[in-house]
Amino acid sequence: MRPLLIMRPDDANVAGNVHGGTILKMIEEAGAIISTRHCNSWNGERCVAALARVERTDFLSPMCIGEVAHVSAEITYTSKHSVEVQVHVMSENILTGTKKLTNKATLWYVPLSLKNVDKVLEVPPVVYSRQEQEEEGRKRYEAQKLARMETKWRNGDIVQPVLNPEPNTVSYSQSSLIHLVGPSDCTLHGFVHGGVTMKLMDEVAGIVAARHCKTNIVTASVDAINFHDKIRKGCVITISGRMTFTSNKSMEIEVLVDADPVVDNSQKRYRAASAFFTYVSLSQEGRSLPVPQLVPETEDEKKRFEEGKGRYLQMKAKRQGQPESQP
């Protein structure tokens, strides 16, 4: 499966680097196609695959306007009710012929019945070429299930506006974006494509990062994104971002997505998705710059800073163990 797309000016920031959100959207589109096709491959009830979670994703090298993106997707594990898809993204400069790996991503989908989108169907089992694949997949499945439950629990708090905040504080850079869900954001069955949500999440994270360090910034990685609930047509969604942690050369931004069924009064606002984005600051020449140190003020901010530091150190340790992961 190989979608190709030429990157256009609107896909990129002012320095010509394609937004991480555009790449996440392409990844999700490829994942949705392959998993919907797979879930309909036995003659059961017709269904559509809905995005449930994206594992941590690194942006290994920047993609630029005019390059061609190659996206390939493969089903790597199936549980009774979910599908794991691995997606690779390459960028190709068609003038020089140079190709580079820009992303590897792992996504989890759940098949929803077309007749009743609240009903989860069974997934046809995938055939593994090696026996270990099933066992490795099962471990990844159990790990993500556990991780999902943890995020669900911590979703209560929201981003609140503060007046005239000091530079380098959390309040100074925090940002919210409101989006009215329109027909072209949605699947045929009336809920928002996961890729559309991820693109908006990256957009808010980018605004937070740019406000904090006032330079050209790019997405370096996205921590697992959990989709707690479907967003339906006719909702207004609020995407809020706040900085949680800075290291010398990176910024971590928490992004929360809340859906608000404006017209239907009977349903309450609910948390639809959440994730942590990591951004780096770049000089004109594309080298990474030091980042101003974040100043947490409240007790909650200090707690989140420490949690962010924990994730940062854990990831650093992991990378030092696997030096080939960042070519």
Provide the 3-class DSSP secondary structure of residue 224. Answer: coil
- Which spans in 42-154 are helix H? 131-153
Residue 189 lies near a second copy (rule: CB under 8 A): yes
Length of the chain (residues): 327
The Cα-based distances of 134 to 46, 78, 86, 104, 122 in angstroms read 26, 8, 14, 20, 17
Residue 17 lies near a second copy (rule: CB under 8 A): yes
Annotated active-site residue 43? The verdict is no
Work out how close the CB of 246 gets to a second copy at its nearest, in angstroms, rounded to a whole number.
17
Q: Where in 79-208 does DSSP place strands (E)?
A: 83-92, 99-113, 175-180
The span of 83-91, 128-136, 274-282, 289-297 binding a second copy (CB under 8 A) equals 274-282
Annotated active-site residue 13? The verdict is yes
Torsion of Cα atoms, 164 then 166 then 167 then 172, to 10°:
-50
When binding is defined by CB under 8 A, the residue of 78, 174, 246, 247 that contacts a second copy is: 174
The answer to whether the CB of 29 falls within 8 A of the CB of 55 is no
Per annotation, catalytic residue among 202, 216, 223, 258: 202
Site string for a second copy, 65-104 (x = CB under 8 A): xx-x-------------------------xxxx---x---
Residue 2 lies near a second copy (rule: CB under 8 A): yes
The answer to whether the CB of 291 falls within 8 A of the CB of 256 is no
Site string for a second copy, 24-43 (x = CB under 8 A): xxxxxxx-xx--xx--xx-x
Decide whether 211 or 309 has the Cβ nearer to a second copy: 211
CA angle 56, 61, 64 (to 5 degrees): 120
Decide whether 161 or 310 has the Cβ nearer to a second copy: 161
Residue 138 lies near a second copy (rule: CB under 8 A): no
Tell me which residues are annotated as active site. 13, 202
